Structure 1
Amino acid sequence: MPEGESADDRRDVILVVDDDEDIARFVEFNLRLQGFDVILAADGQQALELIERERPDLAVVDLMMPRVDGLELTRRLRADPMTAALPVIMLTAKGMTVDKVHGLSAGADDYLVKPFDTAELVARVSSTLRRNKEFREVSPLTGLPGNSRIRREIADRIRGGADYAVGYIDIDRFKSVNDRYGFSRGDDYISALARCLHRAVISVALPPAFLGHVGGDDFVFVCTPEQVVPLTSRVSADFERAADALYDATDRERGYVELKDRRGNIRRAALVTLSIGVTVSDAEKRLTNPLEAMTVASEMKTVAKSQPGSYVAIDRRRGVGDHGYRHVK
């Protein structure tokens, strides 16, 4: 990737696989006109070699080809974990319904019947890419959007010109939960935090706040500056109640879990709480870069972690004087 270019700036790469060079060049020309980068393969075997090197974002694959045909290529892609999620649009012969069925059964995401309209080709490619990106951006555990969608949300707020706040949240001592109970119970804590955040977002009413899942126990919210205190107060209180209920009764009642370190020594870990870092962009200080806003919020989360209990550290970019508050049960 060129220096200074982000993943969001990179053009989508389309692999066109067809042994008919005229059709392949026709598809390449029209996709390039729409801003896509295009690479060509004459059959499925060459396509597999290219995919390993180039990692395209989508493949347009002809059904009938020598060596490895479109059906076999699609089956191999779906069988390999590294390529299983690559979207495939199958090119089929006119009127051959059975070919469409076989293509979709092999794992194709969509199909086009030859001869096809240029506008339809571009529309199918664009819509399939969009669906695939939306699917990849959603956390399978929480159903919440991920990093790319979070950055777009902040960028939209920046373009709109309104004041906004970005909050970065994670669970204190989350590792102690995984170490004590295993990863399945750890997922229960993450899911509980997602539900508590959802209720908190609803409770602050309009304008709607945005909620995203960065990964693991890390979450981000985007809202108005006025919504920060009610949102963070609600989620802190709700999560501590929900988290306490997930502990075994003995651990919950004594207020800590016991864990063995590598030397076999017993150490105590307090029950989980939340650390929340917030940055505010308003008339006094404008943040015009989504990555900067997330970075500052993450830095403030580190400040919050230096405080006991659930803590919210807020940086309004008005100098060195940060301020925050602690949630009290």
Structure 2
Amino acid sequence: MTVEPAEERPDLILVVDDDDDIARFVEFNLRLHGFDVARARDGQEALEMIDKRRPDLAVVDLRMPRVDGLELTRRLRANPMTSALPVIMLTAKGMTVDKVHGLTAGADDYLVKPFDTAELIARVGSTLRRNKEFREVSPLTGLPGNSRIRREITDRVRSGVDYAVGYIDIDRFKSVNDRYGFVRGDEFIAALARCLHGAMVRVGLPPAFLGHIGGDDFVIVCAPEQVLPLTKRAVADFENTADTLYDPDDARRGYVELKDRRGNIQRAALVTLSIGVSLSVPERRFTDPLEVIAAASEMKSVAKGQPGSFVAMDRRRSDGHRGIDPRTAAARRSGQPIEPDPPAPGLVG
């Protein structure tokens, strides 16, 4: 049985205004541009409605009976369940102090009455977009998260251009958390994010994309010819940076000591990177974003089986034959190039 994907619902905008004429004008134009709309006459009614419907954005008049726009915004910001709800405040023309009070209370933007349709739609659209992008950003690294990563790969699939997707994680990252705790572990993750970003800047145009799946997992999307210079630079920078994050004694001897469940001392080598890369090129053109990610994940598993930091690149063609290309590898912790065993069919390592 084929299951059709659920259709994405339109964004729900809550319009809060005791002036029926303005509220109807805003509702009509929002619906005309594809938004769903709910209305409330004051802040108290809005709070009751928000508990039931969970809007994506609120357009709020400043001056209303009972609970006005300022108090409504303050209450929304004070409640963890509604603190991230974007608010656009409606203010009277020439009342600069109202704009200041609205922004101070936590409004994301404001509209000065009277306003035209184009400005209304533009401000609603841009505020929704900023809010969604903010929610998708990793709080640790500031990088785009899963939804944004999927969109980036989908855009490349639809464009028909050649591209590469790299799936990256830290080998033996658990040993860092076990030895030093999660705070130090977060420092390693943040360091990898900086090293990957720095490598992307160095490879130049066309612009590459970097996303943070979560934990120590990252994704890069770039042109095929950028993969090697980008990953080699990132690996070298990360290994050098990681050495400074270990305690000096652990870094000097090249491993950390951990106790297993039976109390026995185990040694874990210092961290390295495993990178799996899938390529969408004329010889093998991906048409499904999930297939691209799955191929990169498969290559990352291959890289995990190699010593030191390693890049495993999938060069299988659509007809099942292996593409002919030089082997590609990142740098070992010793600083010397990796000389791996001959790659398995369909792989370039």
TM-score calculated relative to the size of structure 2: 0.83
Q: CA deviation at 1:317?
A: 4.4
Instruction: Note if contact 1:169-1:276 (Cα within 8 Å) is conserved in structure 2.
Output: yes
2: CA distance, partners of 1:3 / 1:268? 50
Structural mapping, 1:221-232, within 5 Å: 221-232=220-231
Structural mapping, 1:11-30, within 5 Å: 11-30=10-29
Q: Output the aligned Cα RMSD.
A: 2.6
Q: Which residue of 2 aligns with 1:171?
A: 170
Q: Which residue of 1 aligns with 2:58?
A: 59
Number of residue pairs the alignment of both structures matches: 326
Distance 1:59 1:261, change over 3 A: farther
Distance 1:291 1:208, change over 3 A: same
2: CA distance, partners of 1:246 / 1:320? 43
2: CA distance, partners of 1:294 / 1:52? 38
Structural mapping, 1:64-103, within 5 Å: 64-103=63-102
- Structure 1 residue runs of 4 or more that deviate by more than 6 Å after TM superposition: 320-324
Structural mapping, 1:1-329, within 5 Å: 4-5=5-6, 9-262=8-261, 264-318=263-317, 319=320, 325=329, 327-328=331-332, 329=335
1: CA distance, partners of 2:60 / 2:316? 52
Give the counterpart letter for 2:80 in structure 1: P
Q: CA deviation at 1:326?
A: 6.2
Of 144-153 and 249-258, the range deviating more from structure 2: 144-153
1: CA distance, partners of 2:73 / 2:87? 7
2: CA distance, partners of 1:173 / 1:82? 37
- Three-state SS of the structure 1 residue aligned to 2:166 is strand
Instruction: Note if contact 2:168-2:217 (Cα within 8 Å) is conserved in structure 1.
Output: yes
Q: CA deviation at 1:321?
A: 6.7
Distance 1:315 1:46, change over 3 A: farther
Instruction: Note if contact 1:279-1:317 (Cα within 8 Å) is conserved in structure 2.
Output: no
2: CA distance, partners of 1:320 / 1:47? 62
2: CA distance, partners of 1:230 / 1:139? 26
Distance 1:208 1:194, change over 3 A: same
Instruction: Note if contact 2:211-2:220 (Cα within 8 Å) is conserved in structure 1.
Output: yes
1: CA distance, partners of 2:126 / 2:252? 53
Instruction: Note if contact 1:16-1:61 (Cα within 8 Å) is conserved in structure 2.
Output: yes
- Three-state SS of the structure 2 residue aligned to 1:113 is strand
Instruction: Note if contact 2:235-2:273 (Cα within 8 Å) is conserved in structure 1.
Output: yes
1: CA distance, partners of 2:94 / 2:201? 50
Give the counterpart letter for 2:230 in structure 1: L
2: CA distance, partners of 1:110 / 1:308? 53
Give the counterpart letter for 1:227 in structure 2: Q
2: CA distance, partners of 1:54 / 1:298? 38
2: CA distance, partners of 1:299 / 1:269? 24
- Three-state SS of the structure 2 residue aligned to 1:60 is strand
1: CA distance, partners of 2:279 / 2:34? 36
- Three-state SS of the structure 1 residue aligned to 2:37 is strand
| Uncovered stretches (5+) of structure 1, i.e. residues with no partner | none
Aligned-residue sequence identity (percent) comes to 77
- Three-state SS of the structure 1 residue aligned to 2:149 is helix
Cα-to-partner distance string for 1:71-114 (whole Å, 9 max, x where unaligned): 11111111122322211001223443332222111111111233
- Three-state SS of the structure 1 residue aligned to 2:133 is helix
Q: CA deviation at 1:10?
A: 4.2
Instruction: Note if contact 1:236-1:327 (Cα within 8 Å) is conserved in structure 2.
Output: yes
Give the counterpart letter for 2:5 in structure 1: G
| Uncovered stretches (5+) of structure 2, i.e. residues with no partner | 336-349
Of 160-169 and 310-319, the range deviating more from structure 2: 310-319
TM-score calculated relative to the size of structure 1: 0.88
2: CA distance, partners of 1:303 / 1:45? 58
1: CA distance, partners of 2:94 / 2:232? 61
2: CA distance, partners of 1:159 / 1:275? 28
